[in-house]
A and B are shown apart, each in its own frame.
Chain A
Amino acid sequence: GAVVSQHPSRVICKSGTSVKIECRSLDFQATTMFWYRQFPKKSLMLMATSNEGSKATYEQGVEKDKFLINHASLTLSTLTVTSAHPEDSSFYICSAREVGYYSNQPQHFGDGTRLSIL
């Protein structure tokens, strides 16, 4: 089955540092990848949609300069949390959709990244 690998699974770092999270589709090509943020015991909130070779589309209220998304190839999208602060601490999870996508196919999710900013 389709596998999405997300790395790292857990990050703890100091306030002010930038953190890069990678999302890779291992056995399929993904024209579109989605980045979600999830607070404890809450739902997944879509942050942005990234399309290979073009700029990401951000949801309302998501700071583009804070959360940089790059989708340089059909198998890799990255989310960089720039100058992270404690309020950026959260669970970030990516999802990918295959090329030649059909509407009833589920999105494939990575295992998520727990980001803790001290």
Chain B
Amino acid sequence: AQKITQTQPGMFVQEKEAVTLDCTYDTSDPSYGLFWYKQPSSGEMIFLIYQGSYDQQNATEGRYSLNFQKARKSANLVISASQLGDSAMYFCAMRELFYGGATNKLIFGTGTLLAVQP
């Protein structure tokens, strides 16, 4: 069974500094996708970045990058140049991929609450 672990319940970071949010996962499926979502206090889930298990390079999207270490089964999110608006809950999620399957479930970690300080 797939499992996502986020060991940091909360983190502080100074504005303009970089921060790394940890995520480890466990799966027996060789093909999977890893996602990061941001959830502000208003509740909506905002997709940030995706990494496929067969992707050779680490994913990047603007100030977000994913430090993917497949052998260690980790997919840490790096936010560069933190902004006050980055304060939110961040969730790591995983989907096992079986092509053509109809019920690839997205399973979430417990989340990390990030607080950006001025």
B19 at the interface (CB under 8 A from A): no
Q: What's the interface size class on A, roughly? A: 20 to 34
Which of chain A's residues have a CB closer than 8 A to the CB of B68? none
Q: Which residue of A lies closest to B97 (CB)?
A: A103
Q: Separation in Å of the B109 CB from the closest CB of chain A?
A: 6
The total of interchain contacts (Cβ-Cβ below 8 angstroms) comes to 56
Q: What's the interface size class on B, roughly? A: 20 to 34
Q: Separation in Å of the A104 CB from the closest CB of chain B?
A: 5
A13 at the interface (CB under 8 A from B): no
Which of the residues A57, A103, A107 comes within 8 Å of B99, measured between beta carbons? A103
Which of chain B's residues have a CB closer than 8 A to the CB of A110? 44
Which of chain B's residues have a CB closer than 8 A to the CB of A106? 35, 47, 50
DSSP class of A's interface residues: helix, strand, loop or mixed?
strand
Which of the residues A34, A43, A93 comes within 8 Å of B111, measured between beta carbons? A43
A16-60 interface code vs B (CB 8 A; 1 in, 0 out): 000000000000000110100000011110100101000001000
Contact B50 A104 (CB under 8 A): yes
20 additional A-B pairs beyond A51-B102, A109-B45, beta carbons within 8 Å, are: A31-B102, A32-B102, A41-B89, A42-B111, A43-B110, A44-B108, A46-B106, A49-B103, A93-B45, A103-B31, A103-B95, A103-B97, A103-B99, A103-B104, A104-B33, A106-B35, A106-B47, A111-B42, A112-B44, A114-B43
